Amino acid sequence: MGQSASQAAAFYKEVGSSGKLWTCKDAGGIPAPINSNGQRAMPFWSSLSRVQKIIDTVSDYRKFEPYELTWSVFVTDWAPGLKKDGLLVGINWSGIYATGYDLDVSDVIANTSYHAKKFT
């Protein structure tokens, strides 16, 4: 299993178990950089320590602060907007360039919800 695949598996398991996820924001909002396929993706992480590591080690993210939200708020409030705006969901980006899988919001919801059922 590659790095991005293991990060995705950890995301589904951890968010499914805790019911929480994190992104980061600054005064200008939440980042949504363009990926190598020319699509915008908004990053989310499955733990505070994961997002904090990116903020601490990736220069483009140093001005951001962690932002926590519940899974239910993500699904009901954030997901429709992400879909409407054509944004992908970056999950557990890692490494010196903060990269990983960028997935359709519907896939993230389906995969995380599947794992959540294992913990309820």
Mean pLDDT along residues 48-52: 98
User: Which of helix, strand or coil describes residue 59?
Assistant: helix
Distance, in Å, from the CA atom of 44 to the CA atom of 21, rounded to the nearest integer, reads 7
Confidence of residue 118 (pLDDT cuts 50, 70, 90): low
- Residue 34 has φ and ψ, to the nearest 5°, of -85, 130
6 vs 88 pLDDT, higher one: 88
CA-closest candidate to residue 64, choices 21, 22, 24: 24
What is the tens place of the pLDDT at every residue in 67-96?
Answer: 999 999 999 999 999 999 999 999 999 999
Mean pLDDT along residues 24-28: 97
The stretches of 1-120 forming alpha helices (DSSP H) are 3-18, 48-57, 71-73, 79-84, 105-119
